[in-house]
Amino acid sequence: MNPRVAVLGGGISGLVAAYRLRRLLGDSVDIEMFERSDHVGGTLHSVEVGGIRLDVGAEAFLVRRPEATALVQELGLTHLLVHPGTLGPNILSGASLHPVARPTLMGIPGDPDTVAYLAEADDLRLMAREPARALKWRSGQDISIGELVGDRFGRSVVERSVDPMLSGVYSARSDDLGLRAVMPGLAARLDAGAPDLTSAVTSLLGAATGSGPVFGALLGGYPVLVDELLRQSAPTVHVETSVGEVRRTPRGWAVDGEPFDGVVCALPAPVTAEIFASVEEIAQPLAGIDVSGSAVVAMALDSGVELPQLSGVLVAGDETSVRAKAFTFSSRKWNHLAGDGGAVRTSFGRYGASVSGIDDRQLIDWASTDLGVVMALAGQEQTPVPVRAAVVQRWPGGIPRYAPGHAGLVSQVDRDRPARLVLAGATYSGVGVPACIGRADAVARVLVTDLAGG
């Protein structure tokens, strides 16, 4: 009989896992996908705002990581690949706009000159003396990025360079993020005996390779990728269907009583812990993972509103003039949107500062007012900015917090997972699209091996 596999979650991770299972097993596998919302794609979703089609989850992917670009090529979508224009972002710090510090390792500089216009004078002197200070590091330890960088380089470097970079990806400040899960390469350098943070960072920056575009996207947005994955994986899809319980059986798994030979779970950690409550080795560790609420306000501006000549603005961790954590000037950043009028994505929410209790009307008002503050600082007085249309997109499952110890927790879960159950999604190996694609592809291959083992 054909093996029957349940894919729990129809986001990018579930779709990639289903696609890889279909490629590896062909028509011999029956794939059923369960998605609690009314559409597949999860947070990779686009909406029409004032006649402009905008992605309202992730809007781009790293092209210097191979997973997303390789999948785009495998699916036959390379002809739709586009890259941002030449404009770069600024950082909002001290009620002023500044260029993003470069080069850095996710905002961590390799020398004081890189952040001389951002950091406090005392912290610049601390950075300069850092190589002469003893670094007490135990191989395998894990601490927050903010604790490490704050101790070695000073708090202004954390708040004005590192936090703006990490908040946009992880919806959390560096004080809430563990080094080993978020920056495994830096942890590895310290484990290998780097004598100080400066040398560890500079060695990684020096080893960085590659030129050309950093980010990519698809004409038509992420729905193009979602639709093609769905077409080629050809699962039976159950939308608006929440899974209540998954239990082990002698031959595999029961999903709400229905028998399956294998399961791919691509759901947020709290949901996974709940539905696998009877599987202690999964439920117990995953129940301890926190998530942060996040929201994007996509806005189409009135005609005649001129956005600054920037791709966007990242907000420093100690900045109080706005509530937003980032702005993307989509119609400046992407050439294919340049003729559609002013289009802006404004992001809200960090770990510990959820926006779940803020209604859509209030978020739109904040987005318009905050954008006006930024435009005034750029020399274009528009407060509040006139908005002709706006849409709020929330991330209902939240973004997992990669706290100190997270990497070890994931290793434990992978080591202890029962046979024929694999776990995918942003909880495990990175929150970005390439990381989710890579994890889903890898665990699908593991499941194929499990199924072949009987």
Q: What is the pLDDT of residue 43?
A: 87
Which band of pLDDT confidence, cut at 50, 70 and 90, is reported for residue 64?
Answer: confident
CA-atom Rg of the chain in angstroms: 22
pLDDT bracket for residue 209 (50, 70, 90): low
Among candidates 149, 67, 91, 176, which has minimal Cα distance to 399?
Answer: 176
pLDDT at position 454: 64
What average pLDDT does range 415-424 have in this prediction? 97
Mean pLDDT of the chain: 94
pLDDT of residue 382: 62
Q: pLDDT above 90 covers what percent of the chain?
A: 85
Q: Which residues contact 436 (CB under 8 A, 6 or more apart)?
A: 11, 12, 13, 16, 424, 425, 426, 429, 430
Tell me the two tokens of residue 416.
């202890």
In this predicted model, what pLDDT tens digit does every residue of 115-138 receive, in sequence order? 999 999 999 999 999 999 999 999
DSSP 240-284: S-----EEEETTEEEETTEEESEEEE-S-HHHHHHHTTT-HHHHH
8 Å CB contact between 311 and 332: yes
Can you tell me the distance from the alpha carbon of 284 to that of 219, in angstroms, rounded to the nearest whole number?
42
pLDDT digits (tens, 9 = 90+) for 216-227: 999 999 999 999
Question: Is the pLDDT reported for residue 210 higher than 70?
Answer: no
Smallest Cα–Cα separation from 374: which of 422, 431, 312?
A: 312
Residue 375 carries which side chain, given as an amino acid letter?
M
pLDDT given for residue 354 in this prediction? 80
Collapsing DSSP states into helix, strand and coil, what is residue 336?
A: helix
Among 76, 80, 81, 102, residue whose Cα is nearest residue 91? 102
pLDDT category at 168 given cuts 50, 70, 90 is confident
Burial of 287 from C-beta contacts in 10 A (0-12 / 13-18 / 19+): middle
